[in-house]
Amino acid sequence: MKEKLGTTGLVMNEPLLWERGGNGRCGFSIPRRDVESFPINEDLVGPVPDFPELSEVDVVRHYTRLSQWNYGVDTGMYPLGSCTMKYNPKVNEKYANLPGFAGAHPFLPPSMAQGTLKLMYDLEHFLSEITGMDATTLQPAAGAQGELTGTMLIYAFLRSKGIHRSKFLIPDTAHGTNPASVSLCGFHPVPVKSNEDGILAPEAVAEVMDEDVAGILVTNPNTLGFFEENIREISEIVHGKGGLVYCDGANMNAVMGIVEMGKIGVDVMHLNLHKTFSTPHGGGGPGAGPVCVKKGLEPFLPVPRVVQEEGTYRLSYDYPGSIGRVHSFYGNFGVMIKAYSYILSMGPDNLKKASQLAVLNANYIKESLKAAFNLPYDRPCMHECVFSDKKQNVHKITTLDVAKRLIDCGFHPPTIYFPLVVAGAMMVEPTESESKETLDEFIETCKAIANEAEEDPDLLHEAPKNAKVRRLDEVTAARQPCLMG
């Protein structure tokens, strides 16, 4: 009998940092004191912060043990929809750690920083090419900050023409950051419903588009995994009343080398380097959310911008229309290195291949599991597909139960309960990194879980059993928050 993927093993319990250690321990080699001690006004000095006292061994054991409680992409398949948990190449990490990059001060005179400036300049151009847009800023530190930046560009563009608009169209499949970002910009989000095929219909947009709408924020491909087929017509409707089209590019992994966003009516979009471009998620960041624009929005981009004159690079602030800064310096440079290295490692053909294989993988899963799980939209998908727990509900099993059982079986669960338009949604994005064997294993496991839902539902209700902890009491955590030790 073939071995199950998920199993138990010996992991260690490990207390909190301050529950360990002893008086006088230190895990740090402090650089030599070669100057005398200078007096300091006692009124300015505070008590020593109550930090733990640990040796280097204590610290290493602590964090090694903690790491063993985590599941990462390196552990196994991580099919989180709209997160693009693809393989994070190790060579990218190596370059980010090169002393010339890691040790670089952002205020270095440009003559002493040509390497980093060239990298940024080239990366901007690569991303403009991949999206089919005219210019790029690398400043935003994450996708959400990219959305805010892009929305501000639209705001600035309209303001420069003396136009004030108060609304922004947001499809019902939108990620939560979308309405949150436009609100930060002072816009009121207006919902647009998707049709029975899970995409936006031009009529639905036309109904809500008027001269008080600054623009529409479309995710393309959308969070149901579908290409917004009517994007060109929708752009015309929005442009026709003086609005702009923002594309949330979180799902760019489906269309590299296949669609040119800049040619289908998109005015501004962001990318997520920690999704499409293989930079690691780090347990919650850092990421990077570059914003790409058409020429008309270029004057408003954040400053400084990297410019090239006769082979030399420098930073320019000579953009009077700029919205200013969104980051203390130039963005998450350490993340940019990894995306740059990825693009140079893959090359144009492999980037396109990656998108094709990502879409192949998602469709393969869709076709293989649509008998076991309800598929609300039975049509060709892009890089992700959405199931629901409808079939399992009759056995009193929910999406949550299925997800927790997947953990026991050795897979990270897909995204659950999103998008909101599907009750009990399970959004599966395998990415191109997963081989056919892994997908087949995933499919077999999901089918087995669907059977268990019928025949032995307690296995799901009680899951997970193999992880470091069982299901956690999130209610008490919210009612009586304990946020520090």
Q: Which of residues 438-457 bind another protein (CB under 8 A)?
A: none
Q: Which two tokens stand for residue 360?
A: 């192949």
Range in contact with another protein (rule: CB under 8 A) among 237-245, 290-298, 355-363, 444-452: 355-363
Nearest to 465 by CA among 3, 8, 14: 8
Distance in Å, CB of 455 to another protein, minimum: 23
Range in contact with another protein (rule: CB under 8 A) among 202-210, 236-244, 370-378, 413-421: 413-421
In which residue are the tokens 């597909």 written? 385
Peptide bond into 419 cis (omega under 30): yes
Binding residue for another protein, selected from 166, 324, 378, 456, defined by CB under 8 A: 324
CB of 243 to another protein, least distance (A): 16
* Listed residue (367, 463, 468, 362) closest to 409, CA to CA: 463
> Which of these segments, 19-27, 204-212, 236-244, 291-299, binds another protein (CB under 8 A)?
19-27
Choosing from 195, 295, 348, 378, the residue that interacts with another protein (CB under 8 A) is: 348
Q: Is 10 in the site for another protein (CB under 8 A)?
A: no
Looking up tokens 């959405």, which residue turns up? 386
Among 4, 7, 12, 63, binds another protein (CB under 8 A): 63
Radius of gyration of the chain (CA): 25
Task: Identify the helix (H) or strand (E) that includes residue 119.
Answer: helix 114-131
Helix (H) or strand (E) holding 342: helix 333-369
Strands 426-428 and 385-387: antiparallel
Instruction: Select from 1, 8, 10, 105 the one that contacts another protein (CB under 8 A).
Output: 105
- Tell me: does residue 12 bind another protein (CB under 8 A): no
Residue 319 makes contact with another protein by CB under 8 A: no
Nearer to another protein, 180 or 448 (CB): 180
Which string of DSSP letters, residue by residue, matches 389-439? SHHHHTTT--HHHHHHHHHHTT----EES-STTSTT-EEE---TTS-HHHH
Burial 319-342 (b: 16+ CB within 10 A, else e): beebbeebbeebbbbbbbbbbbbb
How near is the Cβ of 1 to another protein at its closest, in Å?
24
418 lies in the site for another protein, by CB under 8 A = yes
Q: Of 202-210, 236-244, 290-298, 360-368, which part binds another protein (CB under 8 A)? A: 360-368
CA atoms within 13 A on the CB side of 47: 3
Site for another protein in 232-291 (CB under 8 A): 232, 255-260, 263-264, 272, 274, 278, 280-287
For the CB of residue 288, give the shortest distance to another protein in the complex, in Å: 8
Work out whether 377 is an interface residue with another protein (CB under 8 A). no
Q: How far is the CB of 94 from another protein (least distance, A)?
A: 8
